[in-house]
Amino acid sequence: MLPGGLVAGGGRLCLLRWLGLRLWSRRGTLLFALLWFGSWLFLNGLVLVHRSIMSDYCTDDKSKRILQRLCLEFREGSVTGDMCEDLCVLGLVEYKHCLYYENGKKVIEARWRGNPVILKSKLENFSSYEPLGILDYQDTAEELSPLDVVFYATLEVRNSLGLAEEEEEEGGGGGNNSSLARLWGKRLKYRDKSYSRAELASLWSLLQQEEYTFLRVLQDLSTHVAKVLGSCGHFYAVEYLSAGHAWDQNIFSLEDMAAPGPPGQDRAGARGRWTTREMVHRIALSFLDMIWHFDNDFTHKLHLCDIKPENFAIRKDLTVVAIDVDMAFFEPKMRDILDQNCSSDDDCNFFDCSSRCNLSRRRCSPRRRNSNLQVICEKIFRPWFSPTLLGAKAGLPLQVELQRAVQECSETDGEGGDIHQRLLSILTRLLQEGGASGEGGGAWEEKGHAHTALNF
C-alpha cells in the first residue's frame, strides 16, 4: 500500500514539477492575464457604480416631477411653446422613460401624438437659465417689436455658433448666400404681433442651449440633422432615432429599416426589400452626401470633431443623421479652438480635428489639416468594408477597388475632392451591380444578420 502510494505520489510530484515548469515559463503570460482580469473587474465595478449613481437621478419619478414643474410654469403663464398644450392640457405627450441625466442635462424618451420623440434640456429648471436682460428694464414686453426680438435673437445665435458678425454680413453665413443667423431670423420676422413675455422667456432659454440653436439653424438647410419637432419652455422635442453602435458590424440596426415585407415571406419572395449589403452601400452614400453638404452648403465649413457610430443615426429611408452635435463647429469657431500654443503636432489635435504645429511660432495652425471625409473613412468606412468582414465577397473587383479607395481616403489629409468622387462612383456602381444580378447579399448578408440578431 505504502510503496505503491509512494510511487503514485512520486508520479504526481513529477507531474506537479512538470506543470510547475510549464507554469514558470508561462508566468509572464499568467501574470498578464491576471492583471488584465483584475483591471477588467475594476472597470466593470466602476461602470456599475457610475450606473447606479446615474440611475439615482435618471429616475421616472424625478423626470415626471420636472415635467410637472414645467406644466405648472405653463399654467402660471411664465413659459409657453407649441408643445405645451399637448403636454400639459391634452395629455398627448406620453412619458416613456428617462434616458440620461447629468449635471442637470435631461434627456427623456416620450411619445407625442403617437410618434416617438426625445425631450431635451441642458438644465432641468427653467429658472436656471439666464433671463433675457431687457425684460427687467421694460414694464411689458409689448414695447419690444418683433424686429428687436429678431435682432437680439440673431446676436444670441451668432454668439452661440461662434459666427463673427462681419464675416456673416459679407460672406453670407449659410444656405447658399444668406447668413445662417439671419436665415433663422426670417422665421421670426414674419409676424406682426409682438411677443409675449412667456414667449420671449421661453425662446431665450432655448437659445442658450447650443444644440437647440444649432439644430434650429440647420433645420431647413440640411436633412442630415435631427428634426426639432416642437418645444415647451426650456424643453424641446427632437425626432427619435436610434443611434449606431460600435459593437455591431453594421453600425446600425438594419432589421427594422426600409419596411420589410410581410412576415412569412422569405428572402426570395421579398423583392421590395433591400439586402443588408445594399443598405450598407446606401447608408455609405448618404454619409458622403452629408459630408459634401457640410463642406459646401454653408459659407462656413462645418467640422465634425467627434465621429463615432454613436453620434449618428439613420431614418427609415436610410438618410444618415448627425444626432450629437456638441462637437460640430463652423469654421470661425474651429479656428479659435485650434489656435493654441504647441511644441509638436501632437498638441494640435482636438478630438478628430487636427492641425499642424508651426514650430517657429510655436503655435498650431488655425486651419484644420484633416477633413470630415478622412475621419469618416477611417472610423466608419474602413471597419465596414474591411476584407475580413466581407468574406467571400471580398475578392470581387469592385469590392477590392472600394477597399483601396477607403484605405487611401483614410490616409489622405486635406480636401480630397477626387477621393470623394471616386468613392461615390464605386458605391453607385456597386448598387447598380447588386440590383442587376439580384443575387442578394450572399455570405455577407447572413453574417450581417447573425450580428444584428444581437440588437435588442
Ligand X SMILES: *[C@@H]1O[C@H](CO)[C@@H](O)[C@H](O)[C@H]1NC(C)=O
Compute the least distance from the CB of residue 355 to ligand X, in Å. Answer: 10
Residue 120 gets the label, from left (phi > 0), alpha (psi -120 to 50) or beta, of beta
**Is residue 358 involved in binding ligand X (CB under 6 A)?**
yes
Task: Pick one of 81, 173, 175, 309: the residue that binds ligand X (CB under 6 A).
Answer: 175
**Is residue 278 involved in binding ligand X (CB under 6 A)?**
no
Q: What is the spatial distance between Cα 338 and Cα 364, in angstroms, rounded to a whole number? A: 6
Residues 5-34, mask of contacts with ligand X (x by CB under 6 A): ------------------------------
Please say which residue, 124 or 156, places its beta carbon nearer to ligand X: 124
**Is residue 243 involved in binding ligand X (CB under 6 A)?**
no
**Is residue 361 involved in binding ligand X (CB under 6 A)?**
yes
Compute the least distance from the CB of residue 446 to ligand X, in Å. Answer: 41
Compute the least distance from the CB of residue 135 to ligand X, in Å. Answer: 21
Assess contact for 130 and 124: CB atoms under 8 A: no
Please say which residue, 128 or 432, places its beta carbon nearer to ligand X: 128
**Is residue 140 involved in binding ligand X (CB under 6 A)?**
no
Task: Pick one of 54, 99, 188, 221: the residue that binds ligand X (CB under 6 A).
Answer: 221
Q: What is the spatial distance between Cα 118 and Cα 253, in angstroms, rounded to a whole number? A: 19
Q: Residue 28 is which amino acid?
A: G
Q: Which of residues 386-445 bind ligand X (CB under 6 A)?
A: none
C-alpha to C-alpha distances, 50 to 36, 53, 101, 324, nearest whole angstrom: 21, 5, 12, 22
**Is residue 196 involved in binding ligand X (CB under 6 A)?**
no
Please say which residue, 370 or 403, places its beta carbon nearer to ligand X: 370
**Is residue 349 involved in binding ligand X (CB under 6 A)?**
no
Assess contact for 228 and 323: CB atoms under 8 A: no
State the DSSP H helix or E strand holding residue 353, giving kind and residue range, or none if neither.
strand 353-354
Cell of 45: 465595478
Nearest to 323 by CA among 211, 205, 168: 211
Cell of 295: 463642406
Compute the least distance from the CB of residue 347 to ligand X, in Å. Answer: 11
Task: Pick one of 125, 196, 223, 412: the residue that binds ligand X (CB under 6 A).
Answer: 125
C-alpha to C-alpha distances, 73 to 67, 219, 234, 419, nearest whole angstrom: 10, 28, 11, 54
Task: Pick one of 10, 11, 77, 104: the residue that binds ligand X (CB under 6 A).
Answer: 104
Task: Pick one of 139, 190, 266, 360: the residue that binds ligand X (CB under 6 A).
Answer: 360
Q: What is the spatial distance between Cα 236 and Cα 230, in angstroms, rounded to a whole number? A: 6
Using CB under 6 A as the binding criterion, the count of chain residues that bind ligand X stands at 15
Q: What is the spatial distance between Cα 175 and Cα 405, in angstroms, rounded to a whole number? A: 31
Q: Give contact residues for ligand X (rule: CB under 6 A).
A: 104, 124-125, 128, 172, 175-178, 221, 341, 358, 360-362
